[in-house]
Amino acid sequence: MKVTTQRLPESQVLLEIEVDPDQMQRSLDKAYKRLVQRIEVPGFRKGKTPRDMLERHVGRDRLVREANEILIPEVYDQAIEEQDVHAIDQPSIELVAIEPLSFKATVAVRPTVALGDYKKVRAERKDVEAPEEEVTAAIDDLRRRYAVHEPVERAVQTGDIVRADVRMEIGGREVFKEDDAEFRLRADTTILLPGFAEGIVGAEKGVTKEVPITVPEGQNELAGKTGTATITVNEVKAKVLPELNDDFAREVGEGFADLPALRERVTSDICERLQAQAEHDFQEAAVGALVENAEAIEFPHVLVHREIERLIEDQARSTGRDISGYMELIKRTPEQLHEDLLPSATERVKRSLALSQLAEDENLDVTPEEIDEEIEKIAGGSGEQGEQMRQIFSSENGRTVVERNLRTRKTIDKLTEIASQDGAAATRKPKKKLEAAANTAETKEEA
């Protein structure tokens, strides 16, 4: 067998393979033994037809075609092993001659990544501070969460809680009747039937008001018909925000000594969020700089196609649909979606390859002990599902996932250290947020 190789762009290799006559003959023998068991020739028992008679019956081309189907994968595997070609996908085959066999095989191989002097990679980490207007908006949001509804003597407005006697008639037929029914009028929210909530707005306490209503299409036999809702308001309650003072601060969450203490916590929470976003942006910029400054990142297009498929699967899964259902939902064809995702998928592949090479260059390994420790952290933070999570991640596949995540984390940390202007990675100490306050406030509002 004669083999020549040629390196092609985009991490591909072209192998030109010529099979010698002896190999061809052995493959023809195998082809005969395979065909003689499948094909019946008149005058001979199945499996007993002499080769010349079988060849005369099926034709020489059929025998050669069968032989080549056997021979191509055999000699291709032999060729890539002899030539030390690290294929990562199935080859594209082009026949040159069928007897003796000669063909070309184009195959994608491992990417080539050379980072160059990555120690010089730098990125800018922005300083952050909480904007005053954002702090004020957050405190105002807390006040709205802790608001109470109190009776007022005015016409109904959006946001009020209303108690009213209600009658609804559609086509001369009473379809709803309730005395002292209670409604919370939220913006852009339908109550009972379209037009009803909007009609209550402006109603005066004790004054009967008629509101036109419409039954939506497709609901029941009254669909599309119009009618009238008669409303007599008994009570109007308006949302009243708590005064912005120390008493309010002491009510929020676990309680704060005074308003300045609450304001300090809100400011700290906003700063922490902004710092986390700034650190994420810094890491993204550092990875981008690593890619930009690399001497070479060459990879086969099949990696991009695989990344596109993963992105589509992830997007479909996030909607609770399979891929065909997702395509129907977004009104895109597979070809259109592939085109849409091509730029982002290509960039993701570049970044992944650059980070993998950095991990290799920096000898960033993950020890079994580190994997065990990470599994225990996962299990310890999973509450009642802790033992189940421990079993899942202790499997071979689970440990592989944990190892990959740890290596990625180590690589990002190392790149962060390199890309920092002062040569040291920043550390952020998490602070307790006002989640409890928000939860308590929501409970109060719904009460």
The overall average pLDDT reported for the chain is 89
Q: What is the pLDDT of residue 295?
A: 95
Mean pLDDT of 396-414: 94
Residues 110-144: tens digit of each pLDDT: 999 999 999 999 999 899 999 999 999 999 999 98
Q: Which residue has the tokens 């006697």?
A: 165
Paired tokens of 102:
């000669």
DSSP states of 182-219: EEE--TT---SSTTHHHHHTTPPBT-EEEEEEEPPTTS
What pLDDT, on a 0 to 100 scale, did the predictor assign at position 429? 41
CA 111 to CA 419: how far, in whole Å?
25
Reported as a single tens digit per residue, the pLDDT across 331-370 is 989 899 999 999 999 999 999 999 999 999 999 999 999 9
The predicted pLDDT at position 344 comes to: 95
Backbone angles phi, psi at 14, to 5 degrees: -100, 120
Query: Model confidence over 286-317: pLDDT tens digits?
Result: 999 999 999 999 999 999 999 999 999 999 99
Percent of the chain with pLDDT over 90: 68
Least confident segment among 263-267, 282-286, 427-431: 427-431
pLDDT reading at 81 higher than 80 = yes
Residue 346 has what pLDDT?
96
Confidence of residue 435 (pLDDT cuts 50, 70, 90): very low
> Considering Cα of 39, then 43, then 49, then 52, what sign does the dihedral take?
negative
In order of their start, the domains of the chain are 2-110 (3.30.70.1050), 148-240 (3.10.50.40), 250-441 (1.10.3120.10)
Q: Which residues make Cβ contacts (< 8 Å) with residue 57, sequence separation at least 6?
A: 39, 41, 49
Q: How far is CA 400 from CA 368, 375, 404, in A?
A: 11, 11, 6
